[in-house]
Amino acid sequence: IAAPTDQATINDFPDWGCYGFAITGADGLGLGTGYQNTIDIENGCTTSGTAADICANLSLAGFSDWYLPSIG
């Protein structure tokens, strides 16, 4: 399931996490690793308004388990 509209409110293209910082564990590439990547980004980056932060705190259409996709 994907959100039907863009959820970014701070800017049109938020960074996925803390730009320029490696986040330990957020390196899953395969199908299904996006959930853990989002958790790792959210735990390793305290910047609000990132794409990971938006997903981790989103409640929409009765769902609250939103996350960024992995490349796979």
pLDDT at 62: 93
pLDDT tens digits, one per residue of 24-66: 899 999 998 999 999 999 999 998 888 899 999 999 999 999 9
Q: Which two tokens stand for residue 26?
A: 């957020």
Alpha carbon 61 to chain centroid, angstroms: 18
Q: Say what the pTM is.
A: 0.83
Cβ-based neighbour number of residue 23 at 10 Å: 17
Report the distance separating Cα 2 and Cα 35, nearest Å.
Answer: 13
How many residues make up the chain in this entry?
72
Q: What are phi and psi of 51, to 5 degrees?
A: -60, -40
Whether the predicted pLDDT of 8 surpasses 80: no
